[in-house]
Amino acid sequence: MFAAFSSFLPRRLVAAAAVLLVPALCAAAAPKVYVGNFADNTVSVIDSAGGAVVATIPVAAGPHGMAMSADGRALYVTGDGSSALDVIDTASDRVVSTIEVGRTPNGVALTPDGRSLLVAVYGEDRIAFVDTATRAITASVSVPKPHTIAIHPDGALAIVTSQEPGRFALVVLDLARPAVVRSLPLEKTPRDGEFSADGRTFYFTQAGVSAVQVLDTASNTVVGRIPTGVSPHFVKQFKGAAEGLAVVQGPGELLTFDPATGAPQRHIAVGRQPHWLDLSSDGRTAYVTDEGSDDVRLIDIASGKMIAVAVGKSPRKVVVQPVALQEPAAGATVSIAGFAFGPQATTVHAGESVTWSNDDGSPHTVTFKDGSPGSKGISPGQAFTRVFDRAGSYEYFCSYHPYMTGRVTVIAKAQ
Rounded CA separation 287/303 (Å): 14
Q: What is the pLDDT of residue 336?
A: 96
Q: Which CATH architecture has domain 2-324?
A: 7 Propeller (2.130)
Would you kindly state where each structural domain of the chain is located, as residue ranges?
Answer: 2-324, 331-411
Q: What is the pLDDT of residue 308?
A: 95
**How many whole angstroms from its chain centre is CA 359?**
25
**What beta strand segments (E) does 2-125 contain?**
32-37, 42-47, 52-58, 63-68, 74-79, 84-89, 94-100, 105-110, 116-121
- Confidence category of residue 391, pLDDT binned at 50, 70, 90: confident
Rounded CA separation 351/171 (Å): 47
Task: Pick the closest to residue 241 from 287, 212, 192, 198 (CA basis).
Answer: 198
Rounded CA separation 245/258 (Å): 9
Using one digit for the tens of pLDDT, what is the confidence trace for 214-226?
A: 999 999 999 999 9
Is pLDDT at 7 greater than 50 in this prediction?
Answer: no
CA dihedral 285, 290, 295, 298 (to 10 degrees): -10
Number of other CB atoms surrounding residue 12 within 10 Å: 9
Q: What is the pLDDT of residue 240?
A: 83
User: Residue 242: helix, strand or coil by DSSP?
Assistant: coil
- Confidence category of residue 330, pLDDT binned at 50, 70, 90: low
Which is it for the CA torsion 105, 108, 111, 113, positive or negative? positive
% of the chain surpassing 70 pLDDT: 91
Instruction: Indicate the fold that domain 331-411 takes in CATH.
Output: Immunoglobulin-like (2.60.40)
397, 406 Cβ separation under 8 angstroms: yes
- Confidence category of residue 413, pLDDT binned at 50, 70, 90: low
Using one digit for the tens of pLDDT, what is the confidence trace for 146-181?
A: 999 999 999 999 999 999 999 999 999 999 999 999
Rounded CA separation 76/68 (Å): 6
User: Residue 121: helix, strand or coil by DSSP?
Assistant: strand
Is pLDDT at 122 greater than 70 in this prediction?
Answer: yes
Rounded CA separation 407/215 (Å): 36
- Confidence category of residue 414, pLDDT binned at 50, 70, 90: low
Average pLDDT of the chain to the nearest whole number: 89
Region 251-279: what's the mean pLDDT?
95
Is pLDDT at 369 greater than 60 in this prediction?
Answer: yes
354, 332 Cβ separation under 8 angstroms: yes
Q: What is the pLDDT of residue 117?
A: 97
The continuous run of DSSP H or E covering 388 comes out as strand 383-388
Using one digit for the tens of pLDDT, what is the confidence trace for 179-191?
A: 999 999 999 999 9
85, 126 Cβ separation under 8 angstroms: no
Length reported for the chain: 415
Pairwise pLDDT comparison (292 vs 11), residue with the higher score: 292
